[in-house]
Structure 1
Amino acid sequence: MSRGVLYAAVMMALIASACGSTERGSPVAADATESSASSSSSTTQTTSASTTTAAAASGPVAEILAARQVNADDFHDMSFGGDKPEDMTESSSMVAFITPSANIACNWSLTDPTGELGINCDAKERTSPPPERPANCELNWATGYVQLHPDGVVENGVCTGGVLTPSIANTLPYDSALVAGDFGCLSAEAGVTCAHIPSGRGFVLSREELRTF
């Protein structure tokens, strides 16, 4: 089984889980004092880790970390078939966004049990030459997809039997970055820059080109 097909299979399982999750706004019982203390501790640890990473970062990763950061908790809502905000449901294990132009959508799992999944992006319109179909691809050859794996490998095009990116998600404004887990993406008018933060590997995707770093 090729890496692209394995990626697709695991991502589709996560998508199925996301679609069946509880919608945002469902009541959750919790002790307010304990929750506040836990949140404060978590925020302190996250800030400390981000500061350390940012200090050691360079190139595109530094640009992602230096950009205006959005709250990752606001990007768990998505739909893989609907086209209206009310169609979105919340996934605690995945984050997703679309660009203001709605041309590029990206998502990634925060709890990947296989270690195979990374960022998956889809450009609806690409004017650059499409990637060549692999000889062993027996499914749909999706030329709009780009995948970034945890080991830094970027795949241009995916052999898949399903949809891997959301049809609708919350918009990541231009000049803003979404960082969650070991991955992050920066939205800009010129395209989307996504990276595996620890390794510094990633790509820039736009209508006109795909560039890796």
Structure 2
Amino acid sequence: MKKWILLLFALTGWASAQTLEGFKTPSGNIYCLYYNNELRCDLLSTTTPKPPRPRDCELDWGNAFAMTVRGRAYRICHADSAMDPSYSVLQYGKTWKKGGYTCISLTSGLNCTNKDKHGWLLSKSRQVIF
């Protein structure tokens, strides 16, 4: 739970001091936020069952993913959202790069990686962390 609380605190504290940078997929189902050298992506809806909620998570669970520039990606327990309708659209076939992250928007989903080549493939029908 401490990691999730710190993530929430970091986002709210950082967001009040800086302009947030993000993008969304053409479908409008995935929104990604780059903040404090971390990447977070949220899904508006999925057709897959969510994994079991961790016992120490009393907040929203299953639709938000985060990673740092090094190390593995993970789902997060959260009380906020990365969804902002004003984000620009990352068109299919286009790539977004920033701070050691690379995201490619595909018709099959959004593929994002960090410097260690860890990341995710997200779509409405599947969410894979690698």
Q: Which bin holds the TM-score, normalised by the shorter protein?
A: 0.7 to 0.9
Q: Indicate the RMSD between aligned Cα atoms, in angstroms.
A: 1.8
Asked if the contact 2:32/2:82 (under 8 Å) is kept, the reply is no
The change in CA–CA distance for 1:3 and 1:152 in structure 2 (over 3 A counts) is same
Give the Å deviation of 1:7: 1.3
Between the aligned partners of 1:166 and 1:12, the Cα distance in structure 2 is: 15
1:133 aligns with 2:59: no
Please, what TM-score do these two structures have when normalized by structure 2? 0.88
Asked if the contact 2:22/2:32 (under 8 Å) is kept, the reply is yes
Give the Å deviation of 1:189: 1.0
1:187 aligns with 2:105: yes
1:108 aligns with 2:34: yes
Give the Å deviation of 1:17: 2.4
Report the secondary structure of 2:77's partner residue: strand
The change in CA–CA distance for 1:211 and 1:178 in structure 2 (over 3 A counts) is same
Displacement over 6 Å in runs of 4+: none
Asked if the contact 2:30/2:43 (under 8 Å) is kept, the reply is yes
Between the aligned partners of 2:25 and 2:54, the Cα distance in structure 1 is: 29
Asked if the contact 1:12/1:164 (under 8 Å) is kept, the reply is no
Between the aligned partners of 2:55 and 2:48, the Cα distance in structure 1 is: 21
5+ long unaligned stretches in structure 2: none
For residue 99 of structure 1, what is the aligned residue in structure 2? 25
Give the partner amino acid of 2:73.
Answer: V
For residue 161 of structure 1, what is the aligned residue in structure 2? 79
Asked if the contact 2:74/2:129 (under 8 Å) is kept, the reply is no
Q: How many residues align?
A: 130
- Could you say which structure has the higher strand fraction? 2
- Could you say which structure has the higher helix fraction? 1
For residue 9 of structure 1, what is the aligned residue in structure 2? 9
Asked if the contact 1:100/1:173 (under 8 Å) is kept, the reply is yes
Asked if the contact 1:12/1:163 (under 8 Å) is kept, the reply is no
Give the partner amino acid of 1:107.
Answer: L
Matches within 5 A, 1:1-213: 1-18=1-18, 91=19, 94-109=20-35, 112=36, 118-138=38-58, 140-156=59-75, 158-196=76-114, 198-213=115-130
Between the aligned partners of 2:6 and 2:85, the Cα distance in structure 1 is: 22
Deviations 1:69-117 (A, max 9, x none): xxxxxxxxxxxxxxxxxxxxxx2xx4310111111000112xx3xxxx5
Report the secondary structure of 1:101's partner residue: coil
Give the Å deviation of 1:120: 0.5
Report the secondary structure of 1:203's partner residue: strand
Larger Rg: 1
Identity of aligned residues (%): 24
5+ long unaligned stretches in structure 1: 19-90
The change in CA–CA distance for 1:145 and 1:191 in structure 2 (over 3 A counts) is same
The change in CA–CA distance for 1:190 and 1:171 in structure 2 (over 3 A counts) is same
Please, what TM-score do these two structures have when normalized by structure 1? 0.56
Give the partner amino acid of 2:82.
Answer: L
